[in-house]
């Protein structure tokens, strides 16, 4: 499970951009009370160019 987004920092360009956005908005910290889990195609590198 992706309970931390730090691994995105060393991912591909798209993952690094996602990390920057999520980090700058403090998304995970703001939702910490709810134990957020990051999911989707970008975190696991199966997203498509479109």
Model confidence, pTM: 0.78
Phi, psi of 15 (to 5 degrees): -65, -40
pLDDT digits (tens, 9 = 90+) for 1-50: 667 899 999 988 999 999 999 999 999 999 999 999 988 888 777 888 77
Residue 15 to residue 21: CA distance in whole angstroms:
10
Residue 11 to residue 48: CA distance in whole angstroms:
15
């Amino acid at each position: 499970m992706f309970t931390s987004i730090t691994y995105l920092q060393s991912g591909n360009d798209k993952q690094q951009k996602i990390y920057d956005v999520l980090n700058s908005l403090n998304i995970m910290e703001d939702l910490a009370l709810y134990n957020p889990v990051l999911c989707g195609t970008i975190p696991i590198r199966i997203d498509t160019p479109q």
